[in-house]
């Protein structure tokens, strides 16, 4: 048994897989999404693979940003209270505060619903946050938790927000391209 990967017989195929992932990323303008579950099921049967494995591969390929190194906030500066609220489809979205550090800003996106109307466990959700300002910002989700009626996600934005920006929140089902919800807030740091 080998601890190191040394199978030269499949090296060309492995490189071709990497080249195809890159080609897919370029062709979709870095927004690859995922094929439909029906399409993945068809491929699973055709190529004698597990549908869940195929779905996992496409999910990973569609979310490359998740694999970039996470900025670790350093040098706490202050906490800025916010009253950012958005209600849609029986869900209340909020950002209660921004925690500013010297190199980043941390924000918590919270969702609350009436469990008899919406069950957060019924669909797998993917949240992205885009921060638009006078310079480029990068927002990374670092953790999330919740239950049937409440969820929270922590995002680290870098560099630190020190100006008025627009925060765009987009919610999708992980296997779909079309957003379930998109809205934005204007934030003054």
Domain ranges of the chain: 8-62, 76-188
Per-residue pLDDT of the chain (189 residues; tens, 9 = 90+): 445 666 788 888 989 998 998 999 888 887 777 888 899 999 999 999 998 898 888 888 877 777 788 899 999 999 999 989 999 888 889 999 999 999 999 999 998 887 676 656 555 677 889 999 999 999 998 988 887 788 899 999 999 999 999 999 988 776 666 777 888 899 887
| Phi/psi at 12 (5° precision) | -65, -40
The pair of structure tokens assigned to 84 is 């950012």
Tell me how many degrees the CA angle 175-178-183 measures, rounded to the nearest 5: 120
CATH code at 76-188: 2.60.40.1630
Give pTM, 2 decimals. Answer: 0.68
């Amino acid at each position: 048994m080998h601890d190191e990967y040394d199978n030269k017989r499949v090296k060309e195929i492995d490189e071709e897989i990497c080249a195809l992932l890159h080609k897919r990323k370029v062709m979709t303008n870095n927004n690859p999404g995922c094929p439909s579950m029906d399409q993945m099921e068809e491929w699973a049967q055709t190529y004698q693979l597990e549908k869940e494995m195929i779905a996992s591969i496409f999910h990973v390929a569609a979310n490359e940003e998740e694999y970039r190194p996470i900025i670790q906030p350093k040098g706490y500066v202050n906490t800025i209270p916010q009253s950012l609220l958005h209600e849609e489809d029986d869900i209340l979205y909020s950002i209660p505060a921004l925690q500013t550090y010297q190199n980043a800003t941390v924000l918590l996106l919270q969702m609350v619903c009436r469990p008899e109307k919406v069950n957060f466990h019924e669909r797998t959700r993917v949240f992205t946050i885009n921060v638009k300002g006078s310079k480029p910002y990068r927002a990374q989700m670092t953790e999330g938790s919740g239950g049937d009626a409440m969820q929270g996600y922590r995002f680290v934005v870098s560099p630190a927000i020190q100006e008025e920006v627009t925060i765009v929140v987009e919610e999708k089902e992980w296997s779909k391209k079309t957003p379930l919800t998109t809205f934005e807030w204007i934030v003054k740091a």
